[in-house]
Every structure is written in structure tokens, then in C-alpha cells.
């Protein structure tokens, strides 16, 4: 028995090195768009794009290595979509904090995530939050990403009378974004591996050939990570005004990770006979450790990717799949010029497609019960309309508790939800 077989238990999971490598490459191709999208989004917060590119690749590689080698799960990690948008558009541009303070908040959220695991209260929190609110939060992040994508492409613009209106749909940025979105969606329907990546690179290539984009090259030595390395402002993140921000980072990461772990484990038949997830603590620790490391390097929250199911579908069953993804991210470090050549409208189509996937959570809401449907809708539309994930979460919690109390549905409430709702009310009143 080889070392890889012994460590990853390949025979026990009825898989092989070849199958795991193919699964790892497949997973990477489905999520590689993040190495182009994440630097583009965080650069708008004033961060050095090259340094963020390196931080993105390193944080993803580190998270995948911990998940693969220690937790032995075929689950890949990288800076999360939605959380990077919240970082830039809400915390920095919306609330006026520096990106250094925002990085401090990301680090603190990762530390809290880590401590919750040690204190064994993480599962209690997850189980205490109603399914309805989880749906509202997931779909709200999707709608938030859609708003950002439409704005970045110039498809939606500001209007004094109506707040927003349609932009110039004949402008190159709008045309390229829409074409990219159409292509990605069609390829995804046809189950083409790497549909999002193909769409981003395809739009970039066409725009470059038509003279609408400047090509910066393909490969080079990685840029310096110094401009963002160890730049987090922890004292600034400890300010009372940042409590809701830290909570939002923590809350979204907590449910994003738990949902991904359960979904991927179910798809790959990795659940134990009692229905529980083996080594759940290790998997959660991998996620929280990657988030803290990512903040140190200079990127937003690192989280588990649901795209890992693509590798599962290709036969991946062990942590070797995640290790292969880590290697691919490290190789990507040498493609910085290509990442710098990707225009915002090329990633807008990808954002819009990811938004479609996340907004699909709305279909699982109980629309026949207004006490369940109303909080879902308020949380969902609250995020794009307030341009803040944190505010959407707050509106969802407060509305859920208020409506349930007024309807006499006391049995639907638990102490954790009520306490959190009261905290959010205090935030609205005093902050």
C-alpha cells in the first residue's frame, strides 16, 4: 500500500490517484474564475490588485491543503463570492472604513469561527437559526451580486428620480457583460466543465481582438504580496461600529461552510451511518484557519466552495482531490499578467451567473406561510437595496421575530434568534 493510499484511504473510498487527480482538476476549472474576479473586486476598495491576486491563490492553496491533508475531504476553498463584494462595496465604500480595518474584521471573524469550534458551540448556533432565514440570506447574497454585476457593466445606473434605471445597453461594457452571461449560462446548461472560466476568458479574448481591451501578457513571476501582507488593522476592527460587520462575515461563512460540507458529503456518500458528518470539526477548522491566513495575506473571507461537487461527480472522494486543487492554485501564481488583463465587464457576466445559482434558494421557501415568506423576502431584497449583507441579515432577523410574536407563533422562536434580533434592534437604534 502506497503512502497516498494509506494517508487518504483511497482503497477504503474505492478510488485511485488518477481519479482523484482528474477530480481535482475538474473542481479547479469550475472555481478558477475567483483568481480573476476577487482581485478585480477588492481593487475597488483601494487594494493592490497584484498583491490580492497572490493572496487569493495562496489563501486558496493553504485552505485546500489543510482540508485535504488534515480533514481528508474533497472540498476546495477560496475567497468567497458575496463576502468579497460585502468587503468592498459595503464595509469600505459604503461604511467608509479602510480596507485595512476590513481585513481586521475578516481576521476576527475567522478567529471567532475557530474559537466556536473549540468551545463546541458551532453546531448549536447552526441548528438554532431557522431554515427560513438561511434561505433569505443565501438568496439575498445572490441578488446583491446581481446588482453589483449590473452596476459594474453599466446595465443599471443611478437616477435621481427613481434611484436606478437602465443604462446604455449598446455600450461595449454592457454588450460584453450580457454576452458573457448568456454564454456561461448556456455552457452550464450543457454541463461544460469550466463554463464560468470559459466565459470570462472568451469575452476577454473577443474584446482584446476588437480593440476594447488591452492584453497584458500571459505569464510572469508572481507579483509581490507585500502591499497587503500583514496590513490588517485589528484595533480598528475592534471598534463597536464594526461588531455587525464581524458578525456578518462570521455568520455568512458559518452557514456557507456548513451547507457546502453537508451538500458535498451527501453527494459523495461521505456521511456516516448515523447521518452525521465525520471529521466535521477538522473541516470547520480548515475553513477558519484559511480565513485567518487569508486576512494576513490580504484577501477577504476564505470559505468552502460548492463547486467541489463537480469534482465529486468526477469521482473524487478523498482529500487528495483538494490537494490537487491546491497545486493548481499555486501554479496559477505565474499567470498574474493574464489576471490583470481581465476587464470588469468580463467578470460581470460571471457574477450574474453566480447570482442565479444563489438566488435559487428562494424556491425552497414556504410561500404559503406569510410568517415564513415575509422574512425571507425582506432579508433577500434588503441586501441589494441597502448594498449591505449585514443590513439584510439584520432586517431578516428582526422581521422574523416580530412577525412570529405578533402572529402568536411563539413555538417557532428560540432564545438565540430572539437575542440576535434584539442585538440588531439595538444596532439600528444606537449605531
pLDDT, tens only, 223-239: 999 999 999 999 999 98
Q: What is the DSSP letter of 230?
A: T
Considering the domain boundaries, does residue 7 fall inside one? Answer: no
Count of domains observed in the chain: 1
Considering the domain boundaries, does residue 4 fall inside one? Answer: no
Considering the domain boundaries, does residue 3 fall inside one? Answer: no
Distance of alpha carbon 163 from the chain centroid: 28
Q: Which residues of the chain have pLDDT under 70?
A: 1, 122-123, 126-127, 259, 262-263, 266-268, 271-277, 430-431
Considering the domain boundaries, does residue 220 fall inside one? Answer: yes
Q: Give the three cell numbers for residue 203.
A: 469575452
Q: Give the three cell numbers for residue 310.
A: 463537480
Nearest-CA neighbor of 30 among 289, 415, 309?
309
Considering the domain boundaries, does residue 248 fall inside one? Answer: yes
Considering the domain boundaries, does residue 199 fall inside one? Answer: yes
Query: In terms of residue numbers, what domain contains 47?
Result: 14-430
Considering the domain boundaries, does residue 233 fall inside one? Answer: yes
pTM for the complete prediction? 0.81
Instruction: Note the pLDDT of residue 313.
Output: 72
**What own/partner pairs with CB < 8 Å and gap ≥ 24 does 334-337 have?**
334/219, 334/220, 334/221, 334/222, 335/35, 335/218, 335/219, 336/50, 336/53, 336/54, 336/220, 336/222, 336/223, 337/216, 337/217, 337/218, 337/219, 337/220
Considering the domain boundaries, does residue 9 fall inside one? Answer: no
Amino acid at each position: 500500500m502506497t503512502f497516498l493510499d494509506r494517508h487518504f484511504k483511497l482503497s477504503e473510498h474505492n478510488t485511485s490517484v488518477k481519479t482523484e487527480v482528474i477530480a481535482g482538476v475538474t473542481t479547479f476549472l469550475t472555481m478558477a474564475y475567483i483568481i480573476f474576479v476577487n482581485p478585480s473586486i477588492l481593487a475597488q476598495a483601494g487594494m493592490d490588485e497584484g498583491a490580492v491576486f497572490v493572496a487569493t491563490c495562496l489563501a486558496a492553496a493553504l485552505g485546500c491543503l489543510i482540508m485535504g491533508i488534515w480533514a481528508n475531504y474533497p472540498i476546495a476553498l477560496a475567497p468567497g463570492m458575496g463576502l468579497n463584494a460585502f468587503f468592498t462595496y459595503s464595509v469600505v465604500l459604503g461604511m467608509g472604513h479602510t480596507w485595512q480595518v476590513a481585513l481586521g474584521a475578516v481576521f476576527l471573524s475567522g478567529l471567532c469561527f475557530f474559537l466556536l469550534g473549540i468551545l463546541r458551540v458551532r453546531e448549536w448556533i447552526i441548528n438554532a437559526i431557522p431554515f427560513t432565514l438561511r434561505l433569505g440570506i443565501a438568496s439575498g447574497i445572490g441578488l446583491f451580486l446581481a446588482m453589483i454585476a449590473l452596476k459594474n457593466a453599466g446595465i443599471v445606473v443611478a437616477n435621481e428620480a427613481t434611484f436606478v434605471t437602465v443604462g446604455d445597453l449598446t455600450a461595449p461594457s454592457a454588450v460584453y457583460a450580457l454576452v458573457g452571461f448568456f454564454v456561461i449560462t448556456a455552457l452550464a446548461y450543457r454541463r461544460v466543465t469550466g463554463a464560468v472560466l470559459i466565459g470570462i476568458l472568451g469575452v476577454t479574448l473577443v474584446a482584446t481582438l476588437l480593440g476594447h481591451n488591452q492584453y497584458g501578457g500571459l505569464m510572469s513571476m508572481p507579483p509581490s504580496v507585500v502591499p497587503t501582507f500583514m496590513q490588517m488593522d485589528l484595533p480598528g476592527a475592534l471598534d463597536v461600529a464594526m461588531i455587525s460587520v464581524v458578525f456578518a462575515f462570521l455568520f455568512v461563512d458559518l452557514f456557507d461552510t456548513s451547507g457546502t460540507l453537508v451538500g458535498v458529503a451527501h453527494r459523495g456518500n461521505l456521511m456516516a451511518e448515523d447521518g452525521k458528518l465525520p471529521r466535521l470539526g477538522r473541516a470547520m477548522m480548515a475553513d477558519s484557519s484559511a480565513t485567518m491566513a487569508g486576512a494576513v495575506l490580504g484577501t477577504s473571507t476564505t470559505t468552502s466552495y460548492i463547486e467541489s461537487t463537480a469534482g465529486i461527480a468526477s469521482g473524487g472522494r478523498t482529500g487528495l482531490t483538494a490537494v490537487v486543487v491546491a497545486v493548481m492554485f499555486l501554479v496559477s501564481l505565474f499567470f498574474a499578467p493574464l489576471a490583470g488583463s481581465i476587464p470588469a465587464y468580463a467578470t460581470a457576466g460571471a457574477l450574474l451567473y453566480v447570482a442565479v445559482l444563489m438566488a435559487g434558494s428562494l424556491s425552497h421557501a414556504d410561500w404559503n406561510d406569510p410568517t415564513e415568506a415575509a422574512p425571507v423576502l425582506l432579508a433577500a431584497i434588503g441586501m441589494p437595496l441597502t448594498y449591505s449583507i449585514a443590513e439584510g441579515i439584520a432586517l431578516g432577523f428582526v422581521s422574523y421575530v416580530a412577525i412570529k410574536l405578533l402572529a402568536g407563533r411563539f413555538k417557532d422562536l428560540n432564545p438565540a434568534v430572539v437575542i440576535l434580533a434584539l442585538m440588531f434592534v439595538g444596532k439600528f437604534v444606537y449605531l
